[in-house]
């Protein structure tokens, strides 16, 4: 199971969270990555933890003021990128262009979607992975794997029907080891989470609890 922690724009210390994630990954053998704000990618990558961008723009070099260039994210230390998060929705054509931009820069890609139908559509664009995240559960205390398990199994089936090489993750409300186990049982190969770690008083303890079932 892959664990990707999205720090969003939360007022946490990204380097402290990254160090905690690196330590837990080393101790547990679980693959854990951190997605900080673009300005913090280099500092987070310097901790040695696997580092992802929260977004890259659907363009290459040129006159694109305000864009997040995939090549520069990679140069700063990012190894992958999220795309189309529910808090940063993109048009399908732009998702396609961003996937291509990320591939040019050597970044792994995870495209988010709200439901199994959208999962099938974005899986057809050839990302490395997709993540189903019902917006109404994001930031809540109940995980998608518990609240609506069918959406996870249906998302796995939708992606497999298009391209069985695309990994399927789930997110929204993930915070405990039980949530991780439930996601695994439903066929997901990874989870996305944010507030469960970024807002935790002790991010290392939160991560240790999350990955405990995988030890």
Residue numbers belonging to the annotated binding site for substrate: 6-8, 138, 173, 194-195
Which residue shows structure tokens 């900080």?
A: 36
E strands in 36-159: 50-53, 80-83, 108-113, 129-132
**Is residue 85 annotated as part of the catalytic site, yes or no?**
yes
- If you ran DSSP here, which 8-state letter would residue 78 be given? -
SS3 at position 191: strand
- If you ran DSSP here, which 8-state letter would residue 182 be given? H
Please list the residues that pair with 51 across neighbouring strands.
34
Note whether 134 and 113 are within 8 A (CB): no
Query: Which one is catalytic: 22, 133, 136, 208?
Result: 133
Query: Which one is catalytic: 22, 50, 85, 108?
Result: 85
CA distances from 84 to 136, 147, 184 (A): 16, 22, 23
Binding site residues, as ranges? 6-8, 138, 173, 194-195
**Is residue 133 annotated as part of the catalytic site, yes or no?**
yes
Annotated catalytic residues are 85, 133
């Amino acid at each position: 199971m892959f664990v990707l922690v999205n720090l969003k724009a939360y007022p946490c210390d990204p380097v402290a969270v990254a160090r905690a994630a690196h330590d837990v990954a080393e101790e547990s053998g679980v693959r854990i990555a951190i997605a900080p704000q673009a300005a913090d990618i280099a500092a987070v990558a310097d901790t040695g933890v696997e580092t992802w961008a929260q977004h890259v723009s659907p363009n290459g070099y040129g006159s694109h003021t305000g864009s997040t260039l995939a090549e520069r994210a990679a140069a700063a230390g990012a190894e992958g990128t999220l795309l189309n998060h529910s808090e940063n929705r993109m048009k399908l054509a732009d998702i396609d262009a961003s996937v291509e931009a990320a591939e040019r820069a050597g970044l792994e890609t995870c495209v988010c979607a709200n439901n199994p139908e959208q999962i099938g559509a974005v899986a057809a664009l050839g990302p490395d992975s997709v993540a189903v995240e019902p917006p109404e559960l994001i930031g809540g205390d109940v995980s998608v794997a518990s609240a609506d398990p069918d959406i996870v199994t249906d998302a796995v089936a939708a992606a497999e029907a298009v391209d069985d090489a695309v990994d399927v993750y789930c997110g929204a409300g993930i915070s405990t080891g039980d949530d991780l186990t439930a996601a695994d049982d439903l066929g997901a190969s990874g989870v996305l989470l944010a507030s469960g770690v970024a807002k935790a008083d002790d991010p290392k303890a939160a991560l240790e609890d999350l990955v405990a079932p995988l030890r």
